[in-house]
Structure 1
Amino acid sequence: MSDDYYTKGDFVDDLEVDASRFDTDPDEETIETVVSNVEDRNIDVHVFDDGDEAREHLREQIPDGATVMDGHSTTLEEIGFTDDLEDGDGFDYLSHRIQGTDDDDDRAEARREATTADVFFDSVNAIAESGELLGANALGNGVGAWAFGAKNLVLVGSTNKIVADFEAAVERVREYAYPLEDARAQEVYGQGSVVGKLVSMEYERVDDRTQLVLLEGDHGF
């Protein structure tokens, strides 16, 4: 597994973020409530206490010959699934097309096409106990797949991202996940990030389209 990525441990001590509020270890009753409330929104939930088992489940979501894309996810990096996408065969990983061109217009077009992948993987920035799943990114090329574009949407989250309600979830995105991502972007891209697009999954109208893979424990931003 590649270790060429940043985790929150690289930045959190240098930032004014409230981990005691936004990065906690919920009890089993809270986790069960979250699972029930997310499922009530027609989103399947798969709970794992082991990153390797979650990784295997994610691999199984890719049909032979499918087009596949992901939004940047520290959680997926931590469990090794980003390596699986980079190195895998039997499917078309659309990130290779984006990375393979130096033309700005071609890259933008490839990013737009990637939001309509057969399977799109991304991680959530916050999970409300009431069941809303929130994500944000600067351009919208990640969360652009959430609302409609992707044929199948696989969202990954961990229990340390659970907060009490929707309002707290928005605050977690802006006051905790964003400062960490901004610091990461400075290191990786040489420029900061913004909360350019903020999306909340409230309800999935298409049966069997969207699932949440929920890891117990502390992962991601």
Structure 2
Amino acid sequence: MSATEAVDRFTTLPDEQTLAATVVALEEHGFSVDVVDDPDEARRVTLARIPHGSSVMTNPSVTLEETGIAEAINGGDSVYESARNKMMALDYATQAQEMKVIAGQAEFSLGSVHAITGEGTLLIASASGSQLASYAWGAANVILVVGAQKLVPTLQAAHERVYQHSLKLEDARAQAAYGQRSRVGKVLEIHQELPGRVHIVLVRRAIGY
């Protein structure tokens, strides 16, 4: 497979039949889903689910940046309690454990995923795993904003998407932003969830990676 073919495979938007079938599969596995048309609607729908004054953690996510959700939570005029701002005010050298508690136990944990399978499984890869604990168990509520190009048919394809597509883009971003390489250190698969905890905002656009 050429590099162009790999990119096309993981950036092409699904047809409506595939999108609808994936939503059904997600709901059967305990996830609630909103399907929206664009990033602005994704931001409005996401913020509408979070009561003002709530503690909210925005995990590292290009999608949250591109939708304006990260700024709405962490900006100076935010109506929310930014767990990220609270965490970043601490000293990692001496307060790392306290930072982990803040990040992992906010009322709302926001982020994205790297792939959603046709069977309704979520897959999230991370270099450090900093966001994975809150997604798996720590946060009372999780909202994941996902571009529809991340829908894949199988779990194998989900893993291939991480290594053949997402990692390459994140590696380039990390080198430009931090001067260091990225890696896949840990991978979380969520196959089933108790209804009401994890909500997915699925965007009919290619957003994030």
With structure 1 as the length reference, what TM-score do the two structures score? 0.87
Question: How far apart are 1:85 and its partner, in Å?
Answer: 1.2
Count of residue pairs the alignment pairs up: 206
For residue 53 of structure 2, give the secondary structure of its aligned residue in structure 1: coil
Question: How far apart are 1:137 and its partner, in Å?
Answer: 1.1
Question: How far apart are 1:79 and its partner, in Å?
Answer: 1.4
Whichever structure has more helix as a proportion of its residues is 2
The AA in structure 1 aligned to 2:50 is: I
Structure 2 residue aligned with 1:44:
32
Structure 1 residue aligned with 2:201:
213
Residues 70-114 of structure 1: per-residue CA shift (max 9 Å, x gap): 211111111111110121433211111222233423145313331
Structure 2 residue aligned with 1:20:
8
For residue 18 of structure 1, give the secondary structure of its aligned residue in structure 2: helix
Q: Among the aligned pairs, what percent are the same residue? A: 36
Question: How far apart are 1:132 and its partner, in Å?
Answer: 0.7
Structure 1 residue aligned with 2:171:
182
Question: How far apart are 1:204 and its partner, in Å?
Answer: 0.3
In structure 1, list runs of 5 or more residues that go unmatched. 1-14
Residues 123-178 of structure 1: per-residue CA shift (max 9 Å, x gap): 01111111111111111111221110010000111111111111100111122111
Distance 2:188 2:39 in 1: 26
The AA in structure 2 aligned to 1:152 is: N
2:114 corresponds to which of 119, 122, 125: 125
In structure 2, list runs of 5 or more residues that go unmatched. none
For residue 104 of structure 1, give the secondary structure of its aligned residue in structure 2: helix
The AA in structure 2 aligned to 1:78 is: E
For residue 64 of structure 1, give the secondary structure of its aligned residue in structure 2: coil
Distance 1:154 1:201 in 2: 14
Structure 1 residue aligned with 2:47:
59
Aligned-CA RMSD value: 1.7
Residues 29-84 of structure 1: per-residue CA shift (max 9 Å, x gap): 00011100011101001000022111111111222322110211111111111110
Distance 2:171 2:72 in 1: 26
Q: Do the aligned partners of 1:70 and 1:142 also contact (CA within 8 Å) in 2? A: no
Q: Do the aligned partners of 2:57 and 2:110 also contact (CA within 8 Å) in 1? A: yes
Structure 2 residue aligned with 1:35:
23
Structure 2 residue aligned with 1:142:
131
Question: How far apart are 1:17 and its partner, in Å?
Answer: 8.1
Q: Do the aligned partners of 2:110 and 2:142 also contact (CA within 8 Å) in 1? A: yes
Distance 2:55 2:156 in 1: 35
* 2:54 paired with 1:91: no
Question: How far apart are 1:184 and its partner, in Å?
Answer: 0.8
Q: Which moved more, 1:162-171 or 1:55-64?
A: 55-64
Structure 2 residue aligned with 1:71:
59
For residue 91 of structure 2, give the secondary structure of its aligned residue in structure 1: coil
With structure 2 as the length reference, what TM-score do the two structures score? 0.92
